[in-house]
Structure 1
Amino acid sequence: MNWQELASALFPSGHAIEESKHMLQGTASVGGQTVCVVGTTDHVPIGVEIALAQARVILDTVRDHPKRPIVILVDTEGQRLRHRDEMLGINGYMAHLGKCVDIARRRGHPVVALVYDQALSGGFITSGLMADACYALPESTIRVMGLPAMARITKVPEERLTELARSNPVFAPGASNYVRMGGVEAIWENDLAACLEAAIARAGGPDRRAALGAERGGRRLAATVTDAVRTGGDVQPA
């Protein structure tokens, strides 16, 4: 699904979203209220320019439109791996974008992300995973690292990783595995406009990703370890 088709499905009451150099920004109507929309398209990698531009959209919304909902549309192959970006400190730009999303949440802006095509590595972490809740379309592709690359880095044979991926979502790509781990709240089908309206209404409150991962059996110790660190308690075996 291209972004124009997605926008029509998400915002049947109308939108004013524009695309420039693979970045999306604008406003739309959801349930009678105006929302800020920011995102990417065409699998574009997030470089310093897009990171700064997205951060600016979010900060402008926080300054000019208090508590306006923010919708992040995710389609990226990750952070841009170029010498120029690395020399400029791409990690700092990505962190800045993540902090801007965080401050929007802290200032009372409901932030909802939707992976509608592809979401990989750092480009996903500082956008979709920083939202109050992240959702995905059934045909979307989500992964931090492909199994061949993981095999090269970990020195674990790819055949072994493939075997592990059948039973452990941590090793496996795909939206359904991220649902099991709690990183993705749910997969949206059918009436996308109704799904988005309901998600915005539910956004806010404590981060439940680790708890969801435990409930769904995808990350059985994340919530326990987090709670032990917070309280100084012990970690009990799963």
Structure 2
Amino acid sequence: MDWNTLATTLFGPAHGIAQDGDLLHGHVTFDDAPLAVIGTTNHAPIGVRLALAQARHVLDTIAHHPRRPILLLVDTQGQQLRRRDELLGINRAMAHLGLSIDLARRRGHRVLGLVYDQALSGGFITSGLIADACDALPEAEIRVMRIPAMARVTKLPEALLTELSQSNPVFAPGVANYVAMGGVRQLWRGDLRQALREALAEAPTGDQRAIDGRQRGGRTMAADVIERVLAAP
């Protein structure tokens, strides 16, 4: 689903969300209450300029609209792989975006992520995954690394990783596997306005991903390790 169709479905044809290149931003009315919308489109590669632009809109919302909920629309191919962005400090720009979203949460803004198209690697980690909750449309594509790239990094055969991906969500791309691991809280099916309404009302303010992953069988050890670390003297 393209962003404008999604926005029209959620907020009506006069939604007020603007597209500036690969950047989406605007303030809409949902159930008679204001909502800030910030996101990306066109499978955007997140470089220094785009990361800082998103962070600017998050910080402006914090400054001028205290406690206003924020919806992050995610469609990204990951970080921009260019020498220029590396030299300009893409790692610091993306960290700034993540910290801005975290600041919004700490200042009382309910922050929701919605993967409506594609979400890959660092571009996803520093946006939707830092929200109070990250949901997705069923047709969305989510992955951190393709199996061939994973094989090069881990030095394990592709055939072995492919076999592991059949039974272990950690090794497999796909939105259903991210639901199983707890990275994605739930899929929005049917009435999208009702799904947003429920997400705004029910999304947790604490990090529940490890607990969800344990309950769903996708990440069986993460929550136990976290609990042991927190209980250590």
Query: Is the shorter-chain TM-score for this pair beyond 0.5, marking a shared fold?
Result: yes
User: How many equivalent pairs are there?
Assistant: 233
Q: In the alignment, which residue of structure 2 is the partner of 1:155? A: 155
Q: Report if the CA contact (8 A) 1:14-1:28 is conserved.
A: no
What is residue 117 of structure 1 aligned with on the other side? 117
Distance 1:6 1:118 in 2: 14
Match of residue 3 from structure 1? 3
1:99 paired residue number: 99
After superposition, where does 1:1-238 map in structure 2 within 5 Å? 1-12=1-12, 14-232=14-232
Give the alignment's TM-score, normalised by structure 1. 0.95
Secondary structure of the residue aligned to 1:29 is strand
How far apart are the structure 2 equivalents of 1:101 and 1:217? 29
| 1:13/1:29 contact within 8 Å kept | no
Structure 1: segments with no counterpart, 5+ residues = 234-238
TM superposition shift of 1:204: 4.3
Larger displacement relative to structure 2 (222-231 or 65-74): 222-231
Q: Secondary structure of 2:78's partner?
A: coil
Matches of 2:144 and 2:68, distance apart in 1: 30
**Higher alpha-carbon deviation: 151-160 or 53-62:** 151-160
CA contact 1:14–1:29 (8 Å) conserved in 2? no
- Structure 2 residues without counterparts, runs of 5 or longer: none
Preserved CA contact (<8 Å) 1:110 1:204: no
Q: Residue 114 of structure 1 contacts residue 135 of structure 1 at CA under 8 Å; is this kept in 2?
A: yes
* Distance across 2 between alignment mates of 1:4 and 1:13: 9
Q: 1:45 corresponds to which letter in structure 2?
A: P
> Residue 50 of structure 1 aligns to which amino acid in structure 2?
L
**Paired-residue identity, %:** 58
Deviation at 1:153, TM superposition (A): 1.6
